[in-house]
Structure 1
């Protein structure tokens, strides 16, 4: 999570002070203190999901495995701990899976084949209902 427990405590204390000062203007100090304590607890607990969401939003994505990393990860080793001779096959498979952009063929527009009399009849039926 983002930050420490002090962020929660700070948010709770700020809420406590603001609530206490505003409630003190129109209430007895004991009622103001009670409402400020409730605000402290609520804001202290509300800071946990806020920090969690902020950590998810600001989290950097994990880099994907590149062609070189895939090649190194899939190289089998023989008994002596050296690379086996199948690295040529691995390089070929990585080269085959290289990025190639999609190419779209031009779509032909086909004019609709409707009889104008049939279209007029359908429109009349739909407007009558």
Structure 2
């Protein structure tokens, strides 16, 4: 999941304070504390599915490689080698070719512009 339990606690405490301040103006202090406690519990528990959905949206996953370049088992991870990179390092000017107009594809419009104009005119008249 995205983040830690501190996000849930922070959201719960923020809801507690806001609810206590709002309910304290017109209620007895015990009622204000009960309502603030309920708001804390609701927001604390609501943060779990929110964090879960955000983790799905952003596709965050735990990396098996640690900070020091070691795997989760503690063994060092060897860098990936690409034989094409080695050949590119030797002669970089031969591998570079600028983009020419013949390589670019021209995108054809799906509809004829006159047909689109007629449809827009019909829709704007209605």
Structure (1 or 2) with the larger CA radius of gyration: 1
**Smaller-chain TM-score range?**
0.3 to 0.5
TM-score w.r.t. the length of structure 1 is 0.46
TM-score (norm 2): 0.47
